[in-house]
Structure 1
Amino acid sequence: MDLKLQKFLESTDFIRAVKVTVAAATPVILFSYLNLFSIGFTVALGALFTFSSDIPGNLRHRVNGMLASNLIATGSTVVISLATINPWIFYPVLISLVFFLSMIAVYGQRATLVSFSGLLAMSLSFSHSYTGWALLQHAGLMISGGLFYLCISMIFYYIRPYRYAELRMAECIVLTSKYLKLRGTLWDIRADRNKITEELLSLQIELNETHEKLRETLIKNRTKGGSSNQNRRLLIAHIELVEILELAMATSFDHNKLHHTFQEHPYVLNAYKHLAYNLAALLNELGQSIENRKKYTGKHRPFQDLEAFRKAIDRYEKQTHTSGRPTADEVLVLINMFNYVEKQAEKIKVVEYTFTHALHTQEPKHKDKELEKLLTPVHYNPITITQNLSFSSTIFRHSLRLTLTVLAGFLIGNILPIQNTYWILLTIVVIMRPGYGLTKQRSVHRTIGTLAGGIIAFGIISVVHNSTVLGILAMTCMVLGFSFIQRNYSIGATFITLYVIFVYGMLTPDIQDVILFRIADTLIGTALAFTANHFLWPSWEFLSLPTFLENSIKATRDYIREISVFYNRKGEVPLPYRIARKHAFIEIGNLMASFQRMTQEPKSRQKQLGQYYALVVLNHTLLTSAASMGSFIQSRKTTKASEAFNAITGAIINNLENAMELLKEEKQNIPVDKETKEMLKLRFTELKEIRKKEILESGGTQNENFRLKMEEGQLIIEHLIGLTNLSENIVKAVKDIRERQ
Structure 2
Amino acid sequence: MIYKIRKFTDSTYFTNALKVTIAAVIPVVLFSFLGKFEIGFTIALGAFFTYPSDIPSNLKHKINGILVTALLVAGVNLLVNIMHPYSWIFYPFLAVLIFLIAMISVYGQRATMVSFSALIAVSLAFASINTGWAMVQHSVLIVSGGLFYLIISLVFYYVRPHRYIELQIAECIKLTAKYLKLRGDLWTINADKKSIIEKQLHLQVELNTIHQNIREVLISSHTTTGSSNQNRKMLLVFISLVEILELALSTAFDHDKLHQKFDGHPKVLLTYQSLAYNLAASLKQLSKSVKKRAKYISKHTLLNDLNALQLAIADYENDLGKVPASEGVFMLTTMLQYAEKQVEKIKIVERAFSLAFNSQDFKGIDKDLEKFLTPQYYPLSTLIENLSFSSTIFRHSLRLTITLMVGFIIGNFLPFQNVYWILLTIIVIMRPGYGLTKERSFHRIFGTVLGGLIAFGILSFVKDNIIISILSILCMLLGFSFTQINYKVSATFVTMYVVFIYGIVTPNIVDVVQYRILDTVVGAVLAFLANHFLWPSWEFLNIPMHLEKSIKANQNYLKEISVFYNKKGTISTSYRLSRKNAFIEIGNLMASFQRMVQEPKSKQKQLPQVYKLAILNHSLLSSSASLGTYIQSHKTTSASEAFNVVVDTVIRNLDNAIALLKENDLYLKENLPKEDLAMRFTELKNIRAKELKEGIPIDEEAFQLKMQEAQLVIEQLIWLTNLSENILKTTKALMES
Q: TM-score of the superposition, structure 2-length normalised?
A: 0.98
Measure how far apart 1:331 and its partner are: 1.0
Amino acid at match of 1:285: Q
CA distance in 1, matches of 2:123, 2:231: 41
Residue pair 2:652, 2:669 contacting (<8 A) in 1 also? no
Match runs of 1:356-505 below 5 Å = 356-361=354-359, 368=366, 370-505=368-503
Letter in 2 for 1:397: R
| Counterpart in the other structure of 1:300 | 300
- In the TM superposition, what is the alpha-carbon distance from 1:258 to its structure 2 partner? 1.4
Cα contact 2:283–2:346 (8 A) shared by 1: yes
Q: Does the 8 Å contact 1:289/1:296 carry over to 2?
A: yes
Deviation string, structure 1 residues 652-706 (Cα, Å, up to 9, x no partner): 1111111100001343784754x45443222211111112223444548981111
Instruction: Report if the CA contact (8 A) 2:232-2:362 is conserved.
Output: no
1:362/1:722 CA distance change after superposition, 3 Å: closer
Contact 2:43–2:142, Cα closer than 8 Å, also in 1: yes
Structure 1 regions of 5+ residues with no counterpart? none
Percent sequence identity over aligned pairs: 58
Q: Return the match for 2:583 from 569, 577, 585.
A: 585
In the alignment, residue 703 of structure 1 is paired with which amino acid?
Answer: E
Relative to 1, partners in 2 of residues 1:423 and 1:668: Cα closer, same or farther, differing over 3 Å? farther
- Matching residue's letter, 1:59: L
Q: Structure 2 residue aligned with 1:705, among 702, 710, 732? A: 702
Aligned with 1:728 (options 725, 730, 733): 725
Question: 3-state DSSP class of the match of 2:359?
Answer: coil
Q: Which amino acid aligns with 1:629?
A: L
Contact 1:662/1:668 (CA < 8 Å) preserved in 2? no
What is the CA distance between 1:389 and its match in structure 2? 0.5
Counterpart-to-counterpart distance in 2, 1:83 and 1:653: 59
Question: Could you say what secondary structure the match of 1:101 adopts?
Answer: helix
- Whether the 8 Å CA contact 1:168–1:214 is kept in 2: the answer is yes
SS in structure 2 opposite 1:127?
Answer: coil
Kept in 2: contact 1:691–1:714 (CA 8 A): no
What is residue 10 of structure 1 aligned with on the other side? 10
Which of 625, 635, 638 is equivalent to 1:640?
638
Q: CA deviation at 1:369?
A: 5.7
Instruction: Give how far 1:359 is off.
Output: 2.0
Question: What is the RMSD computed on CA atoms of the aligned residues?
Answer: 1.6
2:157 is matched by which residue type in structure 1? Answer: Y
Partner of 1:140: 140
2:148 partner letter: F
Is 1:101 aligned to residue 101 of structure 2? yes
Partner in structure 2 of residue 333 of structure 1: 331
Whether 2:114 is the aligned partner of 1:117: answer no
Counterpart position of 1:523: 521
What letter is aligned with 2:434?
Y
- Does the Cα contact within 8 Å between 1:474 and 1:498 map onto a contact in 2? yes
1:372/1:363 Cα in 2 relative to 1: closer, same or farther (>3 Å)? farther
Where does residue 234 of structure 1 map in the other structure? 234
Q: Is the 8 A contact 1:43 1:141 kept in 2?
A: yes
Cα distance in structure 2, aligned partners of 1:22 and 1:249: 44
Aligned letter for 1:502?
F
Matches within 5 A, 1:585-664: 585-664=583-662
The one-letter code of the counterpart of 2:717 is: L
Q: Distance in 2 between matches of 1:584 and 1:714?
A: 25
Residue of structure 2 equivalent to 1:694: 691
Which amino acid in the other structure matches residue 92 of structure 2? Answer: P
Q: Is the 8 A contact 1:662 1:669 kept in 2?
A: no
CA contact (8 A) 1:439 1:530 kept: yes
Shift of 1:641: 1.0
Q: Which piece of structure 1 moves more, 689-698 or 21-30?
A: 689-698
Aligned twin of 1:680: 677
The aligned counterpart of 1:281 is 281
Question: How many positions carry a matched residue from both structures?
Answer: 737
Contact 2:476/2:497 (8 A) holds in 1: yes
Counterparts of 1:81 and 1:456, CA distance in 2: 35
CA distance in 1, matches of 2:450, 2:670: 61
The answer to whether the 8 A contact 2:426-2:526 is kept is: yes
Of stretches 52-61 and 245-254 in structure 1, the one that deviates more from structure 2 is 52-61
How far, CA to CA, are the matches of 1:490 and 1:317 in structure 2? 58
Per-residue CA distance 1:165-193 (angstroms, 9 max, x = gap)? 00000000000000000110111113211
Q: Does 1:313 align with 2:313?
A: yes
Distance 2:721 2:266 in 1: 33
SS in 2 for 1:476: helix
State the distance in 1 between where 2:369 and 2:525 align: 47
Q: How does 1:505-520 map to 2 (within 5 A)?
A: 505-520=503-518
User: Whole-Å Cα distance in 2 between the matches of residues 736 and 266 of structure 1?
Assistant: 40
Shift in alpha-carbon separation, 1:513–1:701, aligned structure 2, 3 A? farther
> Residue 164 of structure 1 aligns with which residue?
164
Q: 1:645, CA displacement in angstroms? A: 1.1
Query: What per-residue deviation string (whole Å, max 9, x for no partner) do you get for residues 85-107 of structure 1?
Result: 20111011110011011101111
> TM-score, length-normalised on structure 1?
0.97
Taking a change above 3 Å as real, the CA distance of residues 641 and 677 of structure 1, as seen in their structure-2 partners, is: same
Residue 558 of structure 2 is matched in structure 1 by 560
Distance apart, 1:292 and its partner CA: 1.5
Check whether the contact 2:434–2:599 (CA below 8 A) recurs between aligned residues. Answer: yes
Question: Structure 2 CA distance, aligned partners of 1:606 and 1:104?
Answer: 30
C-alpha displacement at 1:110, in angstroms?
Answer: 0.9
Most deviating of 254-263 and 728-737? 254-263
The C-alpha deviation readout for 1:473-516, integer Å capped at 9, x for no partner, is 11010000000111000000000000011111111000110000
Question: Distance between the aligned counterparts of 1:77 and 1:680, measured in 2?
Answer: 68
Displacement, 1:544? 0.4
Verify the 8 A CA contact 1:409 1:528 in the aligned structure 2: yes
Contact 2:56 2:216 (8 Å CA) reproduced: no
Letter in 2 for 1:592: M
For 2:644 and 2:428, locate their aligned partners in 1 and report how far apart those are by CA, in whole Å.
Answer: 53
Whichever residue aligns with residue 313 of structure 1, its letter is I
When structure 1 is superposed on structure 2, of 55-64 and 360-369 the one drifting more is 360-369
Report the Cα distance in structure 2 between the residues aligned to 1:2 and 1:465, rounded to whole angstroms.
31
Write the distance in 2 (CA, Å) between the matches of 1:12 and 1:207.
Answer: 17
Aligned-residue offset at 1:280: 0.5
Secondary structure of the corresponding residue to residue 372 of structure 2: coil
Structure 2: which amino acid aligns with 1:731?
A: L
